[in-house]
Copies of this chain bind each other. A is one copy, B any other.
Amino acid sequence: MFTLFHHPFCPHSRFIRLIAGEYGLDLKLVEERSWERREAFLLLNAAGTTPVLVDEEQPIPGAAIIAEYIDEAYGAEMEPKRLMPETVAERVEVRRLMAWFNEKFFEEVSHPLVTERIYKRFMSEENGGGAPSADVMRAAKANVRYHLAYIGWLAQTRNFLAGDRLTYADLAAAAHLSAIDYLGDVPWSEDDAAKAWYARVKSRPSFRPLLSEWLAGVPASRTYVDLDF
C-alpha cells in the first residue's frame, strides 16, 4: 500500500495515478492543498509541491523522481507492461518527453490554466487567490496549440509518443492534457492525429478514476468523459 499526497487537478499527481493504474499499485490518496504549506507536508517535501509518494515510510517527492523510483523498485516485475524501455537510447527519448510535458507543457500551459481556473478558487487572498487572470489564460491557450501540433506530429510518426509501446511519455502527456481538457481548454479539432492518440490513451482502464472525479461548481467540459469525443 502506497500513499500519494496529491491534488485532483495537479497534472503531476495525475501522471503518478496513471502509472499506478497501469501497474495495479494500490494508492491511498490524500488530497493536499500545497499552497497552504502545511508543516507536516513540508517535512515530506521541502519544496512543498505535489505529488509525494510514500512507500513504506520513505517519502518520494516530485513526478519525475517518483516515476524513476517506481521503475527502479518495481519496473522489472511489471514486464511486459513496463513503462520505461530497456535500452539506454530509448530511455533518453522517454525522459525527454516526460520532461517536455512535466516541465515545459506544465510551465506554459497546464500550470497557469489549472492555477487560474481551479486553484485560485480555493486559495485565500494572501495565498494568491482571487479572480483568474485573463492575460495568463490567453497566453496558455495560445501555447497549447503548438504543443498539440507536436503531439500530433509524434503520433503520426510513431505508434505511441516515444516509440512502439506505451511509456511514461504517453502518461505524462495525457495527464497534463486531461487536467485542462476538464476545463475545455484543448482545441482537439485542430489536430486529428493528436486527438486519435489521446482517445486511445483515455480509453485505458487506468484513466477511469480521473474521468469520474468532478469538482463541485466547475463542471467538466462536454468532451471530458466522452471516449469518442
Contacts and interface: CB of A to CB of B under 8 A. Distances in A.
A72 B68 CA distance: 13
A69 B46 contact: no
Contacts of A88: 69, 72-73
For chain A, the bracket of interface size reads 20 to 34
A10 to B, nearest CB: 16
A60 interface: yes
A176 to B, nearest CB: 15
B103 A65 contact: no
A120 interface: no
Interface majority SS on A: helix, strand, loop or mixed? helix
A58 B92 contact: yes
A92 B64 contact: no
B62 A64 contact: no
A46 B92 contact: no
A68 B47 contact: no
| 5 A-B pairs with the lowest CB-CB distances in the bound complex, closest first | A65-B95, A72-B88, A60-B92, A73-B88, A69-B92
Interface of A: 46-47, 58, 60-62, 64-65, 68-69, 72-73, 88-89, 91-92, 95-96, 99-100, 103-104, 150
